Amino acid sequence: MSAGVATTSKGQAWFCTTGLPSDVVVDVNNMTFHLHKFPLMAKSKKLQDLITEQEASFTPSVAADGTDVEKEEKNEEIQVENEFRHVSFKDFPGGPETFEMAAKFCYAVKIELSSSNVASLRCAGEVLEMTEEFCEDNLVSKTEMFLTQKVFHSLKDSVETLKSCEHLMPLAESVGIVERCINSISTKVSAMDSSLFGWPVNDEIMVNGAPDSHGTWLEDLTFVGPNLFKRLIAAMKGQNLNQEVVENCLLCYAKKHIAGINRTSRKPMPSSKQSKPSEIEQKELLETIVTNLPEQNTSRSSTTVKLLFGMLRTSNILNTSDDIKSTLEKKIGYQFEHASLDDLLMPSYSYLSETLYDVDCVQRILTHFLNRVEDTPQALFLVGKLIDGYLSEIALDANLKPDKFIELAVALPEQSRVYDDGLYRSVDVYIKAHPWITEADREKVSGVLDCQKLTLEACTHAAQNERLPLRAVVQVLFFEQLQLRQAIAGTLMAADMGPSDSERSPGTRQEVTEHDETVVQRNDVTWRVAVRENQVLRLGMDSMRTRVHELERECTTMKKAIQKIDKVGSHGWRDSITKKFRCTFKTQVCDSHEPTVVETRKGRTHRASRHSSS
């Protein structure tokens, strides 16, 4: 403060002491300011008019003959002269804090302008009529100069000032601050490098809030009110702004303001002073954000997909229009390979659906994904694994019908699965969780499997799985035997041809990796197949060794039995041997290399029953 001027605050009262008693009281909301009329009247035309009007009411009364009425007592004259002028402002822009700064300006006290208070001071100057026409270097001109030379030259300052206009409407709109801030932001963002707005940068901002980061303005933008934010997005789109920037602005704002959009973030919003928006306001905001999203996705990331799924869940809860839900499903389908299993597990909110999860929604998203023109094998593999995991989760739902399970299982093309082990697990879980379904439905469910694409572990489990239909087990055994023969034949051919190039040159694989990624992927697949064939071959050899030992024991038993036969004709002892050993020997020759599988099927075939009884 300037020399001779001091301020004190006592509760809800504010005093300016200059050595002279206060003669003006100004009420602003719940704060009372004790001031002096001359500094105020020198800067503010509004205060001058109000004070002058009150002083006119203190003019001595005039008698009928035109002469002044004499004061009977001197004290009465002093009381009139010292009468306080009382002024009151309701809903003053910026409240008592802003009026205090305006009052200090009237007393020629230096005030610090900033991007957060300049809008409220500009509005205060408008209310108090502190214009250049009334007094030079007044508050209006000072704030306008600061806006033009400082705020509108900085993107971050423009966002900060726009944010402060939320509680200054409609006055901030009438003096042109809002429109100029929006134009400044949209123009500067359109001139910036779009690579600064990618999700890795934004996530870093959200966590650390580094003040010198290029994208801190984006975090500040999330504190702008919904109405101003809508106007800002419209201005950005009018500038033909990079669609990625527009999309990231919308998604960041949704993450900040739409409750429940992020499952991992359960903390309340930092702006606790603001009232919690109603469901109607939340619905309107969500629909506005989704409507303004670019038609084509501009970026693909797990963060983006997670937010889109969160918005889709919220749209189901708030019961938004079908167009809003369809838009979100299409955008998710465009980058479905970046989703996680947790994203897919959306509860079903429809009264028409009996399932626990919204299976129809996932199926629609999968359809949008498959309709993509630029699908890659890698994306198909990721989505195939994702759907198999989802099938395993929903298979536990007792209300999931077999047809719905089958429809989703076969929706993916064949090349999306290298192996069917994940799909086999889903089938096994479904059949186990639905023991009441008919044999025909069990065969349909297991029919989604391609037994030729099961690994050794899956084949071993399926061959001993009593829950599977007998036809499925027979198919597993058939293809297992076929693979065993192919593996043996391939091993013999490899032995005749000698060592492969890869065995002769261990460094070849690394060299190919550096020069041709496609060849490396092909070698990786060949290597995995070879490992699998070796495992199958080892299992087959172990099985053959076991059978040889069993045949040797049978021959030894036959020899002992022959020696015990005495005085029996040639036909008699041969018939006796045939009767005693033919069935056992034949079973050993014809059985699969997995005898435990046949034993587990004793109750299913009559032949197995006769065999067990023998």
Say which amino acid occupies 386: L
List, in order, residues 6 or more apart from 588 with CB less than 8 Å away: 547, 550, 551, 554
pLDDT at 530: 56
- Greater confidence (109 vs 13) lies with 109
pLDDT band at residue 503, thresholds of 50, 70 and 90? very low
d(CA 593, CA 601): 15
Residue 360, domain member (yes or no): no
Per-residue tokens: 224: 């702008």
pLDDT at 570: 45
DSSP-derived letter for residue 153 is G
Strand, helix or coil for residue 26: strand
d(CA 190, CA 243): 10
- Greater confidence (191 vs 41) lies with 41
Same domain? 179 vs 301:
no
**Is pLDDT above 60 for 581?**
no
**Is pLDDT above 60 for 438?**
yes
Neighbours of 158 (CB within 10 A): 26
For residue 498, with 0-12 CB atoms within 10 Å meaning exposed, 13-18 middle and 19 or more buried, which class applies?
A: exposed
d(CA 38, CA 50): 13
- Greater confidence (54 vs 68) lies with 54
d(CA 277, CA 327): 24
- Greater confidence (118 vs 257) lies with 118
pLDDT at 80: 41
pLDDT at 525: 54
The string of pLDDT tens digits covering residues 379-392 is 999 999 999 999 99
The string of pLDDT tens digits covering residues 116-153 is 999 999 999 999 999 999 888 999 999 999 999 999 99
What share of the chain in percent tops pLDDT 70? 65
What share of the chain in percent tops pLDDT 90? 36
Asked whether the beta carbons of 514 and 507 are under 8 A apart, the reply is: no
pLDDT band at residue 520, thresholds of 50, 70 and 90? very low
Residue 493, domain member (yes or no): no
**Is pLDDT above 80 for 282?**
yes
pLDDT at 205: 39
* Residue 176 Rama label (left phi>0; alpha psi -120 to 50; beta): left
Same domain? 237 vs 252:
no
Same domain? 33 vs 143:
yes
Sheet holding 31-35, edge to edge: 6-10, 13-17, 31-35, 24-28, 85-89
d(CA 19, CA 210): 48
* CA separation, residue 59 to residues 36, 68, 349, 421 (Å): 20, 10, 75, 100
Same domain? 132 vs 29:
yes
Same domain? 137 vs 26:
yes
pLDDT band at residue 18, thresholds of 50, 70 and 90? low
d(CA 391, CA 409): 7
pLDDT band at residue 31, thresholds of 50, 70 and 90? confident
Same domain? 236 vs 294:
no
pLDDT at 211: 40
Asked whether the beta carbons of 350 and 319 are under 8 A apart, the reply is: no
How many domains does the chain divide into?
3
Which among 4-8, 204-208, 340-344 has the top mean pLDDT? Answer: 340-344
pLDDT at 314: 93
Residue 70, domain member (yes or no): no
**Is pLDDT above 90 for 262?**
no
The string of pLDDT tens digits covering residues 296-326 is 766 678 888 999 999 999 999 999 999 999 9
**Is pLDDT above 60 for 355?**
yes
d(CA 30, CA 487): 90
Residue 578, domain member (yes or no): no
Which among 219-223, 224-228, 238-242, 408-412 has the top mean pLDDT? Answer: 408-412
Q: What is the dihedral of CA 446, 452, 456, 459, to 10 degrees?
A: 30
pLDDT band at residue 263, thresholds of 50, 70 and 90? low
d(CA 28, CA 102): 12
pLDDT at 482: 73
Same domain? 161 vs 253:
no
Say which amino acid occupies 452: Q
Say which amino acid occupies 494: A
The string of pLDDT tens digits covering residues 84-104 is 678 889 889 999 999 999 999
**Is pLDDT above 50 for 72?**
no
pLDDT at 582: 44
Per-residue tokens: 232: 């800002």
pLDDT band at residue 478, thresholds of 50, 70 and 90? confident
Give CA 461 to chain center in angstroms. 37
CA atoms within 13 A on the CB side of 373: 0
**Is pLDDT above 50 for 281?**
yes
Q: What is the mean pLDDT of the chain?
A: 76
Identify the residue whose tokens are 């999931």.
400
Same domain? 168 vs 148:
no
pTM exceeds 0.85 for this model: no
Range of the domain at 124: 12-56+83-153
pLDDT at 260: 76
Residue 64, domain member (yes or no): no
Residue 38, domain member (yes or no): yes
pLDDT at 298: 62
Residue 282, domain member (yes or no): yes
The predicted model gives 344-354 an average pLDDT of 83
Identify the residue whose tokens are 């019961």.
319
DSSP secondary structure, 244-292, as one string: HHHHHHHHHHHHHHSTTS-TT--SPPS-TTSPPPPHHHHHHHHHHHHHH
Say which amino acid occupies 294: P
d(CA 123, CA 128): 9
Same domain? 168 vs 101:
no
- Nearest 5°: phi and psi at 6? -140, 155
Q: Do the bridges between strand 6-10 and strand 13-17 make them parallel or antiparallel, or are there none, so unpaired?
A: antiparallel
The string of pLDDT tens digits covering residues 527-553 is 556 556 656 666 666 666 666 566 667
Residue 180, domain member (yes or no): yes
User: Domain boundary at 138, 153, 168, which?
Assistant: 153
Neighbours of 537 (CB within 10 A): 17
Same domain? 282 vs 317:
yes
Per-residue tokens: 284: 């309107």
Same domain? 286 vs 306:
yes
- Greater confidence (525 vs 347) lies with 347
**Is pLDDT above 90 for 269?**
no
Query: What's the angle, vertex CA 96, arms to CA 2 and CA 142, rounded to 5?
Result: 55
Same domain? 17 vs 146:
yes
**Is pLDDT above 60 for 206?**
no
Smallest Cα–Cα separation from 290: which of 263, 271, 264, 314? Answer: 314
